[in-house]
Amino acid sequence: MEVFKIAVKIFASADDFPPDQFVPIFHHWIQNQSVEGHQLIDVADYGHVASGPGTVLVSSEANFYTDRAEQRLGLLYSRKLPLPGSFQDRLRAVVREALKAAAKLESEPLLNGKLKFKTDELLVRLNDRLLAPPNEQTVSAAIEDVRMVAESLYGKTVQIESRCTPLTLVEFRVRSTQNPPLAMLLAR
Q: Which residues bind other proteins (CB under 8 A)?
A: 5, 23-24, 27, 31, 39, 41-53, 56, 58, 60-61, 63, 65, 69, 80-81, 127-130, 167-169
Can you list the positions of beta strands (E) in 46-167?
Answer: 55-59, 62-67, 74-79, 117-126, 158-163
* CA dist., res. 16 & res. 61, Å (int): 29
- Helices (H) and strands (E) counted in the chain, each on its own, are 4, 8
What minimum distance in Å lies between the beta carbon of 47 and other proteins?
Answer: 8
Q: Which of residues 53 and 185 has its CB atom nearest to other proteins in the complex?
A: 53
* CB closer to other proteins out of 49 and 183: 49
Q: Least distance to other proteins from the beta carbon of 184, Å?
A: 30
Nearer to other proteins, 6 or 158 (CB): 6
In the chain, DSSP assigns E strands to 6-12, 40-45, 55-59, 62-67, 74-79, 117-126, 158-163, 170-176
Q: DSSP assignment, residue 69?
A: G
Q: Toward other proteins, which CB reaches closer, 51 or 159? A: 51
Q: How far is the CB of 182 from other proteins (least distance, A)?
A: 24
CB of 65 to other proteins, least distance (A): 8
Please identify, using beta-carbon distances, which residue of 42 and 144 lies nearer to other proteins.
42
Cα 44 to chain center, whole Å?
Answer: 17
- Alpha-carbon distance of 162 to 140, in angstroms, equals 10
**Cβ at position 58, least distance to other proteins in Å:** 5
Residue 147: which of 118, 169, 176 has the closest Cα?
176
